[in-house]
């Protein structure tokens, strides 16, 4: 409730799964499930939800939850013997009791630190040792910030490479009234055309059919404008050159068991990512990747 002190609480969510609830003084909040290390809710100070989670989402491991912010690691999409979008979104993360020092932002006091490390079975699938530390933070003004730090802890001297995305499902009032700014004139790989490369035209990006594009070397600031809500999400990213824009539209929506037939009208995935050039880490080295989602309103 607005006026309360900021708080971070570990409690039970859907199907008894552990979740952490972050609350800020002015009333904004966020929820993170330890399953998947996945943010599943982000509300502004009026209690309005800002992230899309399907009403048909299945909160049951090992299937990742349809909505919020799944983490795609160590692979975006599917190839080789790794599952689609990697395994991080299907694993149980732990609370990190020994978090690293992050570049300080003294204003941010409401956060949780999670950690994922491989089990012996995981190493059979992806033969690398790593520490993946994720901080989910809420600022006093209600901005949502995610910071990932991935470290290569291989003891055999081997580097590893990975691709990555914060698969953010934004809740929008009506997809046909949404515009994205910051990606015009950029090159993209079209996932609907076997990743053929195209160049976006100068016009504003709007939506009237299925879209699944990987924009390359994008600016660090992308705006998603929801005209009906008079709301703009500003996505700021760091350490992540690419950005995926995805909406399955009606036909693919019907084919997904955990996605409602009309859900596509109310969501847009805009995913800060590193896909075209995989990130290579030598043993002992680490990489930091962050996003900040800022909601802004017109009155
Ligand atoms: C997007 C991809 O990031 O995720 C799409 O670009 C994919 O191709 C979508 O369909 C959903 O993937 P999943 O594995 O969560 O159903």
CATH number at residue 263: 2.70.98.10
For this structure, is 271 an active site residue?
A: yes
The alpha-helical segments, DSSP class H, found in the chain are 120-125, 249-255
pLDDT of residue 100: 81
Q: Which atom of ligand 1 is least distant from the CA of 214?
A: 6
CA dihedral 250, 252, 257, 258 (to 10 degrees): -70
* 168, part of any domain: yes
Residue 153 falls inside a structural domain: yes
Mean predicted lDDT score pLDDT of the chain: 95
Q: Is 89 annotated as a binding residue?
A: yes
CA of residue 77 to ligand 1 center, whole Å: 7
Grade residue 163 by pLDDT with cuts at 50, 70 and 90.
Answer: very high
Q: What is the pLDDT of residue 106?
A: 76
Select from 39, 273, 29, 276 the least CA-distant residue to 165: 273
Choosing from 243, 246, 275 the residue with most ligand 1 atoms within 8 A of its CB, the one to mutate for a pocket test is 246
**202 Cβ partners below 8 Å, 6+ apart?**
184, 185
Give domain status of residue 245, yes or no: yes
Model pLDDT, residue 33 = 98
Q: Which tokens is 258 given?
A: 């955990």
pLDDT at 102: 78
224 DSSP assignment: E
pLDDT for 95-153, tens place per residue? 999 888 877 677 888 999 999 999 998 999 999 999 999 999 999 999 999 999 999 99
| Whether pLDDT at 2 is above 80 | no
* Residue 207: inside a domain: no
State the total domains in the chain. Answer: 1
Q: How far is the CA of 202 from the centre of ligand 1 (A)?
A: 26
Q: How confident is the model at residue 298 (pLDDT cuts 50, 70, 90)?
A: confident
Phi/psi of residue 159, nearest 5 degrees: -75, 165
Cα–Cα distances (Å) from 122 to 62, 74, 80, 128, 149, in that order, read 14, 12, 15, 9, 19
Q: Tell me the residue range of the domain where 236 lies.
A: 7-174+214-297
The runs of H, that is alpha helices, within 145-279 are 249-255
Domain membership flag for residue 190: no
Name residue, tokens 């090159």.
Answer: 187
Distance 261 CA to ligand 1 centre (A): 16
- Binned at pLDDT 50, 70 and 90, residue 3 comes out as low
- Whole-structure pTM over 0.85, yes or no? yes
* Domain membership flag for residue 198: no
- Given this model, what pLDDT does residue 78 score? 87
* Tokens matching residue 184: 């015009």
At 245, is the secondary structure helix, strand, or coil?
Answer: strand
pLDDT of residue 159: 98
Measured between alpha carbons, how far is 126 from 202 in angstroms, rounded to an integer?
41
* Per-residue pLDDT tens over the stretch 212-234: 999 999 999 999 999 999 999 99
206 in any annotated domain = no
């Amino acid at each position: 409730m607005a006026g309360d002190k900021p708080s971070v609480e570990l409690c039970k969510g859907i199907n008894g799964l552990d979740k952490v609830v972050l609350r800020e003084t002015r009333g904004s909040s966020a929820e993170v499930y330890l399953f998947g290390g996945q943010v599943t809710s982000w509300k502004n100070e009026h209690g309005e939800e800002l992230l899309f989670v399907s009403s048909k989402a299945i909160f049951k491991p090992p299937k990742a939850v349809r909505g919020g912010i799944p983490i795609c690691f160590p692979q975006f999409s599917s190839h080789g013997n790794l599952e689609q979008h990697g395994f991080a979104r299907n694993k149980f993360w732990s609370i990190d009791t020994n978090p690293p020092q992050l570049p300080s932002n003294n204003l941010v006091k409401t956060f949780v630190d999670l950690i994922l490390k491989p089990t012996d079975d995981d190493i059979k699938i992806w033969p690398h040792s790593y520490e993946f530390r994720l901080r989910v933070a809420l600022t006093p003004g209600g901005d949502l910030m995610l910071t990932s730090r991935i470290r290569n802890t291989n003891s055999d001297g081997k580097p590893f490479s990975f691709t990555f995305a914060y698969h953010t499902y934004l809740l929008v009032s009506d997809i046909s009234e949404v515009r994205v700014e910051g990606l015009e004139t950029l090159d993209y790989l079209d996932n609907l055309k076997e990743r053929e490369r195209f160049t976006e035209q100068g016009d504003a990006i709007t939506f009237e059919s299925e879209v699944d594009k990987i924009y390359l070397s994008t600016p660090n600031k992308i705006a998603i404008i929801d005209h009906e809500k008079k709301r703009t999400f500003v996505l700021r990213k760091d350490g992540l050159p690419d950005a995926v824009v995805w909406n399955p539209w009606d036909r693919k929506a019907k084919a997904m068991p955990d996605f409602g037939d009309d859900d596509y009208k109310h969501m847009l995935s805009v995913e800060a990512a590193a896909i075209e050039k995989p990130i290579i880490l030598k043993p002992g080295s680490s990489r930091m990747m962050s996003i900040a989602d800022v909601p802004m309103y017109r009155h």
